Amino acid sequence: MSDFTTQELMAIFAMQGFAGLSFFSVLLLMALGLAIIYGQMRVINMAHGEFMVIGAYATYLFSTFVSAQMPWMMDYYLILAIPFAFLVAFIVGWVVEFVLIRHLYHRPLDTLLATWGLALIMQQAFRSGFGAREVSVRLPDWLQGSYRPTMMIDIPINGLAIMGLTLVVTLGIAWLLFRSRWGLRVRCATANREMAGAVGINTRGVDRLTFALGCGIAGIAGAAFTTISSTGPTSGSLYIVDTFLVVVFGGAGSLLGTVASAFTIAQGQSVLDFFIGGSMGKVITLLIVVAILMIRPQGLFASKVRR
């Protein structure tokens, strides 16, 4: 590090910081879905990455459709593609919960294996449906280019846009969880499932909605993902381990913890990436996270739910 001047270091940190923000956004969107699913019903969804890929392919299909049928829409398609991606992933999530997940409540380790099987099936379905090659969407003009506040700092616009999207989704989830009727029911079922059932909450219905919603958010993550990278059948599996670590590191059930840990992990990798290369940066970040988890297993922000 001594080879750089302070000013250069600041610029590097700023740029890598902003580069990390796109990664942070996708990671956070993924982790939010996973965290509410795990927090609510102790289900480990190993296929969460594949739900992200569903969202990404939905966005890709949508953009292909728009560019073929309604080229004048190209500038704004992403705004409609995001709800579309959410909807597709939401519906698939709903079906998966009904067919598979609901049989596995109270067996968290088994959900892990079963959803891994689901992930394999979904990956192969993507490969059969869209081909093994990665696909990418055409970005609208206003998302390309970058913003340069000083000579040395260069911030891509698409990163900023995803940031904004993530902020909106996170606030939306916070509002849903803490202000809406559904959120009240979720918090009841998380705190004490039997009691929630006893006072007339349909906990099974809440579960299904929660699972579908978590998957839907992964779909949004997929839509965001298309703006920073191309999508292949196994894109989701690249994120799944990081996402789990985010959830565990943040302290399951804590929204604030999830945000903080997604930020730490994404920024750690991004900044270290510059100095010691991508793989070693990742190794060091993950090692530190695992070490902290061994010392403090409840994560950064432990939720005060009685187990």
Partner 1 sequence: MNAKLDFLDGRNGLVSLLVLAALILIVFPLAMGVDQLNLTGRFLSFSFVAVGLVLCWGYGGILSLGQGIFFGIGGYCMAMFLKLEASTPEATAIQTTPGIPDFMDWNRLTELPWFWVPFHSLTFTLLAILVLPAAFAYLMGIAMFKRRVSGVYFAIITQALVVILTILLVAQQGFTGGANGITDLRTLKGWSINTDEALVTLYFITAVLLLAVIVLGKWLLHTKFGRILIAMRDREDRVRFSGYDVANFKAFAFCIAATFSAIGGAMFTLQEGFMSPSLIGIIPSIEFVIFAAVGGRLSLIGAVYGALAIGFLRIAFAEAYPQLWLFLMGTVFIVVVLFLPMAWPGSTRNMRLGRAAC
Which residues sit at the interface with partner 1, rule CB under 8 A? 38, 42, 44, 100, 103-104, 107-110, 112-114, 116-125, 127-128, 237, 241, 244-245, 248, 277, 279-280, 282-283, 286-287, 289-290, 293-295, 297
SS3 87: helix
What are the φ/ψ torsions at residue 297 (nearest 5 degrees)? -65, -20
Nearest distance from residue 93's CB to partner 1, in Å? 16
Residue placing its CB nearer to partner 1 in the complex, 103 or 179:
103
Q: Which is nearer to partner 1, 207 or 242 (CB)?
A: 242
From the CB of residue 206, how many other CB atoms can be counted at a distance below 10 Å?
22
Q: Is 107 helix (H, G, I), strand (E, B) or coil?
A: coil
Cα torsion at 87, 93, 99, 100 (round to 10°)? 170
Shortest distance (Å) from residue 130 CB to partner 1: 13
- CA–CA distance, 195 with 192 (Å, rounded to integer): 6
69 or 279, CB closer to partner 1? 279
Of 167 and 238, which has the nearer Cβ to partner 1?
Answer: 238
Longest Cα separation, the chain = 66
Smallest distance from partner 1 to CB 272, Å? 13
Name which of 171 and 241 has its Cβ closer to partner 1.
Answer: 241
> Rounded to the nearest whole angstrom, what is the least distance from the CB of residue 114 to partner 1 in the complex?
4
CB of 24 to partner 1, least distance (A): 18
Look at the block and give the residue holding tokens 């490969």.
127
Secondary element (H or E) of residue 146? strand 146-147
Q: In angstroms, what is the minimal distance from the CB of 294 to partner 1?
A: 4
Residue pair 22/160 in contact (Cβ under 8 Å)? The answer is no
Q: Could you tell me whether strands 155-156 and 146-147 are parallel, antiparallel, or unpaired per DSSP bridges? A: antiparallel
Give min distance, CB of 108 to partner 1, in A.
Answer: 5
Read off the DSSP letter of residue 233.
T
Q: Token match 């390309």: residue?
A: 144
Q: 231: helix, coil or strand?
A: strand
Between 133 and 181, CB nearer to partner 1? 133
- Taking the least distance from each CB to partner 1, the nearer of 20 and 233 is 233
Instruction: With CA atoms as reference, report the closest residue to 54 among 239, 289, 235.
Output: 235
What number of other Cβ atoms are within 10 A of residue 145's Cβ?
A: 11
